[in-house]
C-alpha cells in the first residue's frame, strides 16, 4: 500500500482513500501551507486562502450554502495529491482522474452527496474568475478579464497559515451545519 501520512497521523492512500480517512482538519492544515501558482506569485498566497476567497465570492453572488461549501472544498483533493499548475494538469489525464475521484469522495463525505452539473458550473465559474483576479494582482501578467466579475473583496495579503487554517475550518463547519453535511 502506498500512502501519505497526514498531520493528524492518518495514513491515506491518495489514489484509493477510505472515506473515513478524509479529515477536514488535515485538509485545512495542508491547504493553509500550499502556495498558489506553484510558488510563482508575488508573495505567499495559499490554496487555503484561495479556497476561502472562492467561498466568500460564492456567498457574495448569492450561491446556495452547498455551492459555498463546494467552493471552499473545490481544491481539497490537493491536500492529498498536491497542487499542479493548470497547464501541467491538462497534460496528465491520470492525475485529473485521480483528483476528480478524490474530490467526489470529499464532496460525498462532507456534503453528503456529489454536486449537480449546475452546482459544478457555479463552482467552476467562481474558481475561474478568482484565478483571473489572482493573476491580475499576484502574478506578473493578467489572465483575461474575468477578474471584473468578482463581487467580493478577496484578501490577497500574506497570512499566517494558522489563521488561514482556522478560518477555513470555521467556514466549513458553519456551512456544513447549514447544509446538513456530516461534521467529521
Residue 146 scores a pLDDT above 80: no
DSSP state letter for 28: H
Coil, strand or helix: which one is 68?
A: helix
**Statement: the pTM of the whole predicted model exceeds 0.85:** yes
Domains of the chain: 20-179 (1.10.3210.10)
Q: 123-138 pLDDT, tens per residue?
A: 999 999 999 999 999 9
Contacts of 159 (CB under 8 A, 6+ apart): 46, 49
Contacts of 155 (CB under 8 A, 6+ apart): 49, 53
Amino acid at each position: 500500500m502506498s500512502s501519505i501520512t497526514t498531520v493528524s497521523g492518518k495514513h491515506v492512500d491518495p489514489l484509493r482513500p477510505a472515506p473515513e480517512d478524509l479529515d477536514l482538519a488535515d485538509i485545512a492544515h495542508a491547504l493553509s501551507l500550499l502556495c498558489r501558482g506553484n510558488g510563482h506569485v508575488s508573495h505567499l498566497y495559499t490554496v487555503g486562502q484561495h479556497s476561502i476567497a472562492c467561498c466568500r465570492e460564492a456567498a457574495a453572488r448569492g450561491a446556495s450554502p452547498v455551492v459555498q461549501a463546494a467552493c471552499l472544498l473545490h481544491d481539497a483533493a490537493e491536500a492529498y495529491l498536491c497542487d499542479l499548475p493548470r497547464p501541467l494538469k491538462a497534460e496528465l489525464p491520470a492525475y485529473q482522474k485521480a483528483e476528480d475521484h478524490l474530490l467526489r469522495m470529499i464532496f460525498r463525505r462532507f456534503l453528503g452527496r456529489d454536486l449537480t452539473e449546475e452546482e459544478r458550473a457555479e463552482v467552476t465559474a467562481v474558481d475561474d474568475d478568482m484565478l483571473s483576479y489572482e493573476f491580475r494582482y499576484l502574478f506578473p501578467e493578467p489572465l483575461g478579464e474575468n477578474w471584473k466579475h468578482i463581487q467580493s473583496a478577496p484578501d490577497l495579503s500574506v497570512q499566517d497559515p494558522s489563521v488561514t487554517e482556522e478560518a477555513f475550518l470555521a467556514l466549513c463547519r458553519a456551512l456544513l451545519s447549514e447544509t446538513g453535511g456530516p461534521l467529521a
